[in-house]
Structure 1
Amino acid sequence: MLWSALGLHVLAALSALAAPRLLGDLVQSVEEGTTVARVDTIAVWLAVFLLLQSVLTRFARYRSQVTGELVLAELREDFVANTLALPIGTVEAAGSGDLLTRTGSDIDRLGWSVRWALPEWTIAVVSAALTLVAAVSVGWWVALPCLLALPPLTLGLRWYLARAKDGYLKESASYSQITTTLSETVEGSRTVEALGLGEQRVRLCDDDCAASFAAERYTLGLRTVFFPSMELSYLLPVVATLLFGGWLYTRGSVSLAEVTTATLYVQMLIDPVDRIVSILDELQLGAASLARLLGVAQVPDDREATGRRPTSEKLDASAVRFSYVEGRDVLHGVDLDVGVGERIAMVGPSGAGKSTLGRLLAGIHPPRTGEVTVGDVGLVELPLGDLRGHVALVTQEHHVFVGTLRDNVALARPGASDPQVLGALAAVDADTWVSSLPAGLDTVVGSGGRSLTAAQAQQVALARLVLADPHTLVLDEATSLIDPRAARHLERSLAAVLHGRTVIAIAHRLFSAHDADRVAVVEDGRIIELGSHDDLVAAGGSYAALWESWHGSA
């Protein structure tokens, strides 16, 4: 496809080169005396080559744009695959705004470059190269005027290219920051309103816009200096060719046809060279966007599959330390042995590190030091597909994808039968509202479809977990959006389904702790108490105080 497009561009450019030759011959014929038939013949040939050039250019551009669409489609698929393969910690650190900008404006910019700028630039390069060869073929002397364009072109391009890439990368990054600020403000609008942070968020957005304005002004400044300097370099060769050719003609060294042909060829060079330089600006934008898209694939993986296989389902954490920011650990040497089939409840104040520890136990993050293993194999040594067969995490966060209810639940096990999907929904007490849906499992949910309540969406997330059938479950306040009485009933229903599995439940509702085999009390990134509910209450420590406080207010 690419080579056929390039071949058509070459043929189209060669067809365009016939016109100056024919016009040069026509001028020479008029000087020497010609006939109407001679003029008509030349006019017919001009029309033939013009028509041929138009047809070839049309098909060449069609081929180029088809090739561009194929390349863009492959880049999009690679970007999605690379994004989905990113370590979750990296995604969370980058923020939603950055990824939204990469998938939005960066893809649009790259699409424009691939669909239009790159094909047009290819046409311009081919046309310029062939036109220059044709011009020099008229006579060696034509090369001298053309050389006059090289110094200003070279200096201008070096000056511009040395500054443009960083400028456009900074411009794209400023768009990401604006998107991040806006999305965070919208997502946290209730918090912003409750705490009276409206003016502060507006000022923050104004600062982001000011930074974006400065970045755009910088790149605009580059263009306002670069393009006028290029215009001068285009005109010099044309004037020089006409003057130098005229001087040679007066000396009898060249014919009038050669001067005319050479001048027309050099004049023809202006358009493709101008397009090369102008489109170069678009390509700089596209290159910056491409760098941001390809940069996703350069993020190092946080796990390395070793091929080792767990010998059991026993989950252990040993001397685990972890930090989100370098030098500031949020977990401090945590040790935890989880027996196969054991149910452990993790409790403690907000910010104590419960969710962080749960994510490490589920293999979401690798520990900074220490290790988390299942069957004596580090969780970061297992491919994600294998890991999820051993340990899975369900948080209080949930997402309903656009599609049928069946598709949303069956994400955990593609190809699951309807009875299996319905069984998973029944296990999480969702069968009542599912049976009332107009199309049952075929009901379209998500954006543009039937809206699910927060509690229903959380039940769908839990049903996925039931269908995935992992041996060890980490439940991070997985029933927090369901009212306490319904949550209590749901957890009892889940208990039957999860019988024989290892469960680590992170919750503020202490009835989960009451039912657990052991309770781990987490404070300041450490497990300060570990034991059964009765033993910890009898010990009169932190857990006993929590239980008394919660039980007294329950």
Structure 2
Amino acid sequence: MIGVAPPAYDPAAPTTANTLPVGAPATVRAYVAELFQRHRRAFLLLITVNTVAVVASMAGPYLLGSVVERVSDHARELHLELTAALFVAALVVQAVFVREVRLRGAMLGERMLADLREDFLVRSVGLPPGVLERAGTGDLLSRITTDIDRLANAMREAVPQLAIGVVWAALLLGGLTVTAPPLAPAVLVAVPLLVVGCRWYFKRAPSAYRSEAAGYAAVAAVLAETVDAGRTVEAHRLGERRIELSDRRVKEWTAWERYTLWLRSVLFPVINFTHVTVLCSVLMIGGVFVLQGWIGVGQLTTGALIAQMLVDPVGLILRWYDELQVAQVSLARLVGVRDIEPAAGDPAVAPDGRDVHADRVHFGYRAGVDVLRKVSLEVAPGTRLALVGPSGAGKSTLGRLLAGIYAPREGRITLGGAELANMPAEDVRSHVALVNQEHHVFVGSLRDNLLLARTSADDAELWAALDAVDADGWARALDDGLDTEVGSGGLALTPAQAQQIALARLVLADPHTLVLDEATSLLDPRAARHLERSLARVLDGRTVVAIAHRLHTAHDADVIAVVENGRISELGSHDQLVAAEGAYAALWRSWHG
């Protein structure tokens, strides 16, 4: 870069923090065009009232120029009363329509901002679960908080104000051309300086703002990870390392903040100098034209006043265009989810049966590094399959593939002959559900938390679902029953109760296949045993794939698959595998003593 550069440490590091993509320019342009199309009437109304306000604002320079022209011509009648009346009337009209401009602009901005928030939420919820899982909390949080906040100002003010500024400048130039045609080219004297300054700035600003946004995402990611894993950090005495990493990310982010501030500190003096150049050129060139008799003193007065008025719209355009540079980066990050293929699948694909089949599956989280290799597996309807193996062998990854969370890089995973990767996400969830150690209680009533699984369920079905997981006892004891507010700010539920709500949702959703990733491992033994009894009721009659971190889960399974180094090394019942004296037998002896 020319001039001031970011510090010596690697300033590009934050740009790699994103997991979700940043929208391509074509995607951003398409979305902006879509927003304009949705609100075209509001835009036309804004431009119309702005046009009236600008035309009314030009009445003052024109009337004053007329008075100066009559004075210079030694006219006996100056008609000052009529001029004053017209000037006051123009001021009233301008004031009324400026108010309308601000009101219409604010309303338009709020509507577009509401659309953007809703579009991002709807699109994010529709993404494949694996995409959001790999994205992590830092990048996602920075998009739905910081990027939305930055766009709020742009949507509320920048877009309407930019439209107002463009119309304002165009009308003033048109008025100058009509009232004092020879002076119109004088305005162009400052254009080369403005173009050079803006080209210099806008060549550097977009990439700098992108790096600034990515740097903030990196800071958010580090802080979120440190807070979430606070006990682990404390247990392993990682505090200093996490502080050092946080400090480095903050320094990288603030370096880009300082760099973008320096860019603006160069641009703004150029803009101010341009304003002075415009006014001086009009006065100097206009003065020569008056001395030559090509224009009158009144035309010079009107032209100079209109040229002075150009300062406001030009400054408005450049100010808000600069704001849009920041907003464009945030908008690209928000609409970047549109570049991800939705998990819509092919509506024509439907399973014919309940059997699950994995055929020579390869999968990896990073290119060129496979976690699973050549995995083939058949799960008949009603079977209880346990996946066992050492930590890091790929058990949980295989479970997520069988649940349709991830799609294999190679090979196929089918449900009833239909490939999971080609099925709509909603259809997959209606057949297969993943139950893991994480359980979330949403802010709202107990009823709302349950209706997430099936919105059409009535109260009798909700109570039946709670009864099926042995949760109706404590739920009926609540003062407001199903209307009791739970979650943050409401009734605090125990981990076991929260997991029972998650299981009740499963009962309502009624999937025929469940993938369990040790759903009770984080509970205390008493709560875990109680919940396992509830879980047994939910599992009855369903196909179950259990990722067994504790081997007593595997002991009761119909089939056990031993996963080692990303492959299935053994397959059979508990008795068969113990008798085979292989990897499972060794695990069983070490666990059972």
Same fold (TM > 0.5): yes
Structure 1 counterpart of 2:169, one-letter code? A
Could you give the per-residue CA deviations for residues 152-187 of structure 1, whole angstroms, max 9, x where no partner exists? 111111111111111111111111111111111111
C-alpha distance in structure 2 between counterparts of 1:31 and 1:303, whole Å = 76
The range that moved more, 520-529 or 49-58, is 520-529
Question: Does the residue aligned with 1:397 lie in a helix, a strand or coil?
Answer: coil
The range that moved more, 374-383 or 92-101, is 92-101
C-alpha distance in structure 2 between counterparts of 1:35 and 1:55, whole Å = 35
What residue in structure 2 maps to residue 333 of structure 1? 374
Pick aligned residue for 1:23 from 64, 75, 81: 64
1:472 positional shift: 0.7
Whether 2:262 is the aligned partner of 1:232: answer no
C-alpha distance in structure 2 between counterparts of 1:458 and 1:506, whole Å = 17
Structure 2 counterpart of 1:161, one-letter code? F
Whether 2:411 is the aligned partner of 1:411: answer no
Contact 1:458–1:481 (Cα < 8 Å) also in 2:
no
Structure 2 counterpart of 1:86, one-letter code? L
Contact 2:517–2:546 (Cα < 8 Å) also in 1:
yes
What residue in structure 2 maps to residue 96 of structure 1? 137
CA RMSD of aligned residues (A): 1.7
Whether 2:101 is the aligned partner of 1:60: answer yes
C-alpha distance in structure 1 between counterparts of 2:414 and 2:211, whole Å = 42
Structure 2 counterpart of 1:28, one-letter code? E
Gaps of 5+ in 1: none
C-alpha distance in structure 2 between counterparts of 1:44 and 1:546, whole Å = 98
C-alpha distance in structure 1 between counterparts of 2:388 and 2:525, whole Å = 17
Whether 2:488 is the aligned partner of 1:447: answer yes
1:493 positional shift: 4.2
The correspondence of residues 378-417 of structure 1 with structure 2, limited to 5 A, is 378-417=419-458
Whether 2:168 is the aligned partner of 1:127: answer yes
Whether 2:220 is the aligned partner of 1:162: answer no
Whether 2:241 is the aligned partner of 1:200: answer yes
What residue in structure 2 maps to residue 144 of structure 1? 185
C-alpha distance in structure 2 between counterparts of 1:127 and 1:351, whole Å = 64
The correspondence of residues 95-494 of structure 1 with structure 2, limited to 5 A, is 95-301=136-342, 304-305=345-346, 307-494=348-535
Question: Does the residue aligned with 1:100 lie in a helix, a strand or coil?
Answer: helix
Taking a change above 3 Å as real, the CA distance of residues 344 and 489 of structure 1, as seen in their structure-2 partners, is farther
Question: Does the residue aligned with 1:372 lie in a helix, a strand or coil?
Answer: strand
1:90 positional shift: 2.3
C-alpha distance in structure 1 between counterparts of 2:522 and 2:455, whole Å = 27
Contact 1:352–1:524 (Cα < 8 Å) also in 2:
yes
Structure 2 counterpart of 1:345, one-letter code? A
Structure 1 counterpart of 2:109, one-letter code? G
The range that moved more, 513-522 or 476-485, is 476-485
C-alpha distance in structure 1 between counterparts of 2:53 and 2:423, whole Å = 56
Could you give the per-residue CA deviations for residues 427-474 of structure 1, whole angstroms, max 9, x where no partner exists? 222233223322222211111111112222122112211211011111
Contact 1:302–1:366 (Cα < 8 Å) also in 2:
no
C-alpha distance in structure 2 between counterparts of 1:117 and 1:132, whole Å = 22
C-alpha distance in structure 2 between counterparts of 1:515 and 1:15, whole Å = 85
Question: Does the residue aligned with 2:370 lie in a helix, a strand or coil?
Answer: strand
Structure 1 counterpart of 2:298, one-letter code? A
Could you give the per-residue CA deviations for residues 312-365 of structure 1, whole angstroms, max 9, x where no partner exists? 111011111110111111112111110111111112222121110000000100
What residue in structure 1 maps to residue 85 of structure 2? 44
Structure 2 counterpart of 1:531, one-letter code? G
Structure 1 counterpart of 2:208, one-letter code? G
Gaps of 5+ in 2: 1-41
Pick aligned residue for 2:536 from 495, 504, 513: 495
Taking a change above 3 Å as real, the CA distance of residues 496 and 437 of structure 1, as seen in their structure-2 partners, is same
The range that moved more, 73-82 or 434-443, is 434-443
Question: Does the residue aligned with 1:324 lie in a helix, a strand or coil?
Answer: coil
Contact 2:433–2:513 (Cα < 8 Å) also in 1:
yes
**Structure 1 length normalisation: TM-score?**
0.96
Taking a change above 3 Å as real, the CA distance of residues 493 and 138 of structure 1, as seen in their structure-2 partners, is closer
The range that moved more, 531-540 or 14-23, is 531-540
Greater RCO (Cα-Cα under 8 Å, separation 6 or more): 2
C-alpha distance in structure 2 between counterparts of 1:285 and 1:17, whole Å = 33
Structure 1 counterpart of 2:579, one-letter code? A
Structure 1 counterpart of 2:419, one-letter code? G
The range that moved more, 241-250 or 481-490, is 481-490
C-alpha distance in structure 2 between counterparts of 1:368 and 1:489, whole Å = 39
Contact 2:71–2:78 (Cα < 8 Å) also in 1:
no
Taking a change above 3 Å as real, the CA distance of residues 247 and 492 of structure 1, as seen in their structure-2 partners, is closer
C-alpha distance in structure 2 between counterparts of 1:36 and 1:204, whole Å = 79
C-alpha distance in structure 1 between counterparts of 2:289 and 2:526, whole Å = 101
Structure 1 counterpart of 2:482, one-letter code? L
Whether 2:584 is the aligned partner of 1:543: answer yes
Identity of aligned residues (%): 51
C-alpha distance in structure 2 between counterparts of 1:389 and 1:477, whole Å = 21
C-alpha distance in structure 1 between counterparts of 2:524 and 2:577, whole Å = 27
1:510 positional shift: 2.5
1:300 positional shift: 2.8
C-alpha distance in structure 2 between counterparts of 1:345 and 1:418, whole Å = 35
Could you give the per-residue CA deviations for residues 67-91 of structure 1, whole angstroms, max 9, x where no partner exists? 1111111111110111112222322
Could you give the per-residue CA deviations for residues 89-136 of structure 1, whole angstroms, max 9, x where no partner exists? 322332211111111111111110111122222221111111111111
C-alpha distance in structure 1 between counterparts of 2:167 and 2:74, whole Å = 36
1:387 positional shift: 1.1
The range that moved more, 333-342 or 300-309, is 300-309
Structure 2 counterpart of 1:49, one-letter code? A
1:500 positional shift: 2.3
C-alpha distance in structure 1 between counterparts of 2:498 and 2:302, whole Å = 74
Contact 1:398–1:461 (Cα < 8 Å) also in 2:
yes
C-alpha distance in structure 2 between counterparts of 1:363 and 1:523, whole Å = 21
What residue in structure 1 maps to residue 47 of structure 2? 6
What residue in structure 2 maps to residue 527 of structure 1? 568
What residue in structure 2 maps to residue 505 of structure 1? 546
C-alpha distance in structure 1 between counterparts of 2:527 and 2:144, whole Å = 39
Contact 2:453–2:506 (Cα < 8 Å) also in 1:
yes
C-alpha distance in structure 2 between counterparts of 1:273 and 1:175, whole Å = 31
C-alpha distance in structure 2 between counterparts of 1:179 and 1:487, whole Å = 34
C-alpha distance in structure 2 between counterparts of 1:495 and 1:144, whole Å = 85
Could you give the per-residue CA deviations for residues 179-219 of structure 1, whole angstroms, max 9, x where no partner exists? 11111111111011111111111111111111111111211
Question: Does the residue aligned with 1:448 lie in a helix, a strand or coil?
Answer: coil
C-alpha distance in structure 1 between counterparts of 2:177 and 2:349, whole Å = 67
The range that moved more, 294-303 or 239-248, is 294-303
The range that moved more, 454-463 or 197-206, is 454-463
1:36 positional shift: 8.8
